[in-house]
Structure 1
């Protein structure tokens, strides 16, 4: 079972994923999913801090033209 610290870290990553989407001009995760050929539920889960992998994070960094380091910036 995940510790409280791990849960908070996952939530922070999800928040960052959502922030990147919104900053890219996508007001809904559905539109983002459609335009990038992703599953709606997957994007929603990632933004909730759930069910992402390191490959998911690299893919999202590529979509947003940032590095994985920038994606994870300020997450402790």
Structure 2
């Protein structure tokens, strides 16, 4: 079970890193600016990019901001 938890934590880190890469690819060097301009809670968005567990609702909202589907987001993960 411990190995499974470690694998899940690794996947969460991969998701958070990919979200950060999406933000950077849109020209936002600051997560704070991205959060503010897209009406996201700044602290919550920082948690997302730092690899904390997030809800599916939050993930879908961020992906909609980036105009990317769930399938497209997860295809390389």
Structure with larger Rg:
2
Does residue 11 (structure 1) correspond to residue 7 (structure 2)? The answer is: no
Uncovered stretches (5+) of structure 1, i.e. residues with no partner? none
Structure number with the higher helix fraction is 2
1:47 Cα deviation from its structure 2 partner? 0.7
Alignment root-mean-square deviation, CA: 1.5
1:51 Cα deviation from its structure 2 partner? 3.4
**30, 35, 41: which one pairs with 2:32?**
30
Give runs of ≥4 in structure 1 deviating > 3 Å.
none
TM-score by length of 2: 0.88
The aligned residue for residue 41 of structure 2 is 39
Uncovered stretches (5+) of structure 2, i.e. residues with no partner? none
Alignment partners' CA distance in 1, 2:37 and 2:9 = 29
Instruction: State the number of aligned residues.
Output: 75
The aligned residue for residue 63 of structure 2 is 61
TM-score by length of 1: 0.89
Alignment partners' CA distance in 1, 2:46 and 2:21 = 13
